[in-house]
Amino acid sequence: MADDRRLVQKRRALRLQLGERGVDVVDLEADMEQALALLLDPLRGADVVCKEVIRLMDADAKARDEALAAARGVAANQNTVMDIKQKLQQAATGSNFETRKTVENFVNTWFPQKAVDFAKWASGKDFNKADVKFDVAKQLLQLSLQQEAAMPGVRSGVGMSELMGNASPNPNMPEKAIHDMLNAIMVRNQAIRDYGEGFDSRVRPRADAWRTDNIKNPYAPVLPEWEGEWKSTGRHAPQVYKLALDMMNGTSRDELVQRYGSLSRDQQAEAARVINRIDPSWRPK
């Protein structure tokens, strides 16, 4: 009887093994049928590839459109920031400087949704006093951070909070504190513009080339490639924009070397180009 039971178990194991192999054969046949279908119908295969490329192009276009929208948003107010910075420079030379009017104009243009709250906060304050100017700098920084939190397209590492790490308001130098903060806003804005406009400059010609000849010009997605340039070793790394800000704020050469000596020559040159895009008239002091 024991031998009969062992024989039954072996037969069951054999049937199970054959059943598993049967599944493998079915899967293999299905794969072969699909491959054969693509060979016999090359248009079907081309359609599969084409749909995938279009999906990648659509993803690039969506990310590009969001980045361009952010770039257009900050470009519209960059002149206002520059105007206030120039007025601050005039104040340093002793010319008439209407602090309250200038700051309120800045808030109305840059943070219109916060203008009423800021006017209430500023009511009755003497903007010519050093401590009030310092408070103004902190208020503007807070508004900038609030605005940035609601903005798309701000790259990691080049936001106001990171940039202001090297340009925090100093109560002993209120004009300098606001001056440095305005520089930080302009550098942050330039980073947003560089990302959106640079992204667009790659997506358009690549998509056009693929549409012209998709065999000769296979489409490679732009987004991962472009994001890579904003990492630590890329041309648009966060440290590049921090270097640009420190240069604009008059940081000494020795400090710049200490902080950014590890950057490549191309990255250092890009920091100078960032400043030139912000203010072509800028010269190191």
230-282: pLDDT as tens digits = 988 899 999 999 999 999 989 999 999 999 999 999 999 999 999 999 989 88
Q: Are residues 12 and 119 in the same domain?
A: no
Domain limits for position 64: 53-278
DSSP state of 165: G
Cα distances from 73 to residues 58, 192, 233, 268, in angstroms, run: 23, 9, 28, 27
The one-letter code for the residue type at 281 is S
pTM for the predicted model, two decimal places: 0.69
Average pLDDT over all residues of the chain: 76
- Report the first-to-last Cα separation within the chain, whole angstroms: 103
Q: Are residues 27 and 167 in the same domain?
A: no
Percentage of the chain beyond pLDDT 90 is 32
What number is the average pLDDT over the span 137-142? 74
Could you tell me if residue 267 is inside a domain?
yes
Q: Are residues 94 and 234 in the same domain?
A: yes
CB 193 within 8 A of CB 75: yes
State the pLDDT confidence band at 112, using cuts at 50, 70 and 90: confident
Q: Are residues 111 and 76 in the same domain?
A: yes
Could you tell me if residue 45 is inside a domain?
no
Could you tell me if residue 122 is inside a domain?
yes
* Dihedral sign for Cα atoms in the order 266, 271, 277, 279: negative
Could you tell me if residue 118 is inside a domain?
yes
Q: Are residues 142 and 25 in the same domain?
A: no
Could you tell me if residue 249 is inside a domain?
yes
CB 84 within 8 A of CB 102: yes
Who contacts 240 (Cβ-Cβ below 8 Å, separation ≥6)?
Answer: 263, 267, 270, 271, 274
* Dihedral sign for Cα atoms in the order 116, 117, 120, 123: negative
Q: pLDDT tens-digit profile of 30-61?
A: 555 554 444 444 444 455 568 888 899 999 99
User: Which residue, among 81, 70, 76, 73, has the nearest Cα to 183 in the 3D structure?
Assistant: 81
Q: Are residues 143 and 2 in the same domain?
A: no
Q: Are residues 105 and 29 in the same domain?
A: no
CB 191 within 8 A of CB 270: no
Q: Are residues 167 and 193 in the same domain?
A: yes
Could you tell me if residue 285 is inside a domain?
no
State the pLDDT confidence band at 167, using cuts at 50, 70 and 90: low
State the pLDDT confidence band at 78, using cuts at 50, 70 and 90: confident
Q: Are residues 157 and 19 in the same domain?
A: no
3-state secondary structure of 285: coil
The structural domain count of the chain equals: 2
**To the nearest 10°, the Cα dihedral for 269, 270, 274, 277?**
80
Q: Are residues 193 and 255 in the same domain?
A: yes
115-122 and 130-149 helices cross at what angle (nearest 10)? Answer: 160
Who contacts 64 (Cβ-Cβ below 8 Å, separation ≥6)?
Answer: 196, 199, 200, 203, 222
What number is the average pLDDT over the span 103-114? 75
Q: Are residues 186 and 80 in the same domain?
A: yes
Q: Is 39 exposed, middle or buried, given 0-12, 13-18 or 19+ CB atoms closer than 10 A?
A: exposed
**pLDDT given for residue 23 in this prediction:** 42
Could you tell me if residue 284 is inside a domain?
no
Pair of tokens at residue 174 = 């209120």
Q: Are residues 135 and 252 in the same domain?
A: yes
Pair of tokens at residue 53 = 């490329």
Place of tokens 């491959």: 35
**pLDDT given for residue 37 in this prediction:** 45
The one-letter code for the residue type at 138 is K
Could you tell me if residue 47 is inside a domain?
no
Pair of tokens at residue 259 = 């902080």
